[in-house]
Structure 1
Amino acid sequence: MTRGSPSSAGRPGASSRDSSAGGRCARARRGVRLPRLLRFEAPTARGAPGAVSDGYAKSRLRPETMMQIFRSILSLVALVGVVACDDTQAECAGPRSDVEFIDAMVPHHEMAVEMSNKELADGTDPEVQAMAQGMHDAQLAEIAQMKAVRAELTGSDEVPERHDAQMQQMEADMKKLAAASGAEVDRVFVEEMLPHHAGAITMAHEALPYLQREDMRQLAHKIIRDQAAEIGHLGAMLDK
């Protein structure tokens, strides 16, 4: 697949929280702590030479590809709010309950499904389309699971609309993908899915200490594990 210029580096608004926060959230001075499972590895057969215990081998990606992945993830981490906040700054916090986790993750998954639908309809690369199909099916199942839990907890499976900076960026990314055609669809899908996955991983990681239900804790771990592996696969596609 032909590589293009990074789509995530230097995005407007990607280096800070939504301006409506009025500067009340200061970026943390210490290093960003990402989930330990966020490893940049390409898939290989379980037990193949060089494979590690979870069936993924260390990727031999080009340095420029690795830089694109890191820029995508770091810009997204800044956007979703790895910030220093005290308890009075609720708008800075990640999800702090099962319902908040669901209300944040469902729209995020729905956008991934919409992006996958575009790739499946208009993409040209069979490998990228196969990955898009897997994402589509997995995330639809997770959406159904989360909505069922929300209905059990609140009496309604309706998730409120999101209008935060991250959602606005995802909508802009979707517009860019929607405007693409031919092989460009494959490239844009891969480039945009990298920071999108990083956002889901960050959100799940931040929510884990506050999740009360075992099924939601297991789902958060699954999101981190699955999407970290897919980041490695996406990076390998960019490196072709």
Structure 2
Amino acid sequence: MTNRRARTLAVVTLALALPLVVFMVIRLDGDTGTSAPQPVSAPATSAASPTASPVPTDLTVIAPGRPGETAATRPAHEVRDAGPAPHNSLDVWFVRMMIPHHAQALAMAELAPDRAADPDVRAIADRIRASQGPEMGMMRGWLQTRGLPAEIQGHDHGTMRGMQSPEAMRQLAAVRGADFDRLFVRMMTEHHQGAIQMATDLLTVGSDLTLNEFANSVATEQTVEIERMREILAR
């Protein structure tokens, strides 16, 4: 009797324990410690993380027009560094002619400190040296940037407007005092008038904006200097 009870108790105990064993086996089989390691997702980029900002597509750039024309706006992404500004053959001709034209004005102005009697004449000569020397450097640089030579073989620069003859230059170097003042003013006035005409012509036919601004400056400044020289002669 006792043995029958013991067997019955053992069967009941096994029946109760079997589901628990099965449950534990299932848990152990699905445990992450026995499975293949799972990849770790990269953390989301926070707002503070440095990232490349996208280029705005709604920005506009003001593109200046030629003298007398209004400016236009263009989308920023369409604007590119295109190198030197476009130019035409008349721009190149103007620069090549204006360099020797300036050179003669400098040669005349360099005579004034030792020969002029009127301090106003010496002041004008100083102004010419201070402005036209750097302008010659600018024009040579303009040609060099574009791979263009400065000289024109076989061209007679003496035929340009306002250019003084070699004989007139010798006469200017040979006089002193009031005679120098009168001759200098007459010759430089003619020289400036020629430069103003050359600059004015470029404003109607040139395409380079830098040269247009330069030509306008030449015409304006040399017109002022002509008026000052006329005042000297009128005294």
Q: TM-score range by the shorter chain?
A: 0.5 to 0.7
1:129 paired residue number: 122
Distance in 2 between residues matched to 1:206 and 1:103, nearest whole Å: 15
Cα distance 1:104–1:197, how it changes in 2: closer, same or farther (>3 A)? same
Q: Which of the residues 124, 137, 140 maps onto 1:147?
A: 140
Unaligned runs of 5+ in 1: 1-94
Unaligned runs of 5+ in 2: 1-87
Q: Which of the residues 187, 193, 201 maps onto 2:188?
A: 193
Cα distance 1:165–1:153, how it changes in 2: closer, same or farther (>3 A)? same
2:107 paired residue number: 114
Whether 1:179 and 2:166 are equivalent positions in the alignment is no
Q: Percent identity?
A: 30
Once superposed, what is the RMSD of the aligned Cα atoms? 2.1
Asked if the contact 2:100/2:157 (under 8 Å) is kept, the reply is no
1:176-200 Cα shifts (integer Å, max 9, x gaps): 2112123211111111111111000
Max Rg structure = 2
Q: Which of the residues 204, 215, 219 maps onto 1:224?
A: 219
Distance in 2 between residues matched to 1:223 and 1:202, nearest whole Å: 10
Q: Which amino acid aligns with 1:98?
A: D
Cα distance 1:155–1:164, how it changes in 2: closer, same or farther (>3 A)? closer
- Equivalences for residues 30-45 of structure 1 within 5 A: none
Q: Which of the residues 209, 228, 232 maps onto 1:233?
A: 228
Asked if the contact 1:177/1:188 (under 8 Å) is kept, the reply is yes
1:105-147 Cα shifts (integer Å, max 9, x gaps): 1111100000000112321211110111001110001111101
Partner of 1:136, secondary structure, is helix
What stretches of structure 1 move > 4 A for 4+ residues in a row? 157-162
More RCO (CA 8 Å, sep 6+): 1
- 150-159 or 122-131: which moved more? 150-159
Whether 1:210 and 2:167 are equivalent positions in the alignment is no
Cα distance 1:160–1:128, how it changes in 2: closer, same or farther (>3 A)? farther
Cα distance 1:224–1:161, how it changes in 2: closer, same or farther (>3 A)? farther
Q: TM-score, normalised by structure 2?
A: 0.57
Q: Which amino acid aligns with 2:194?
A: G
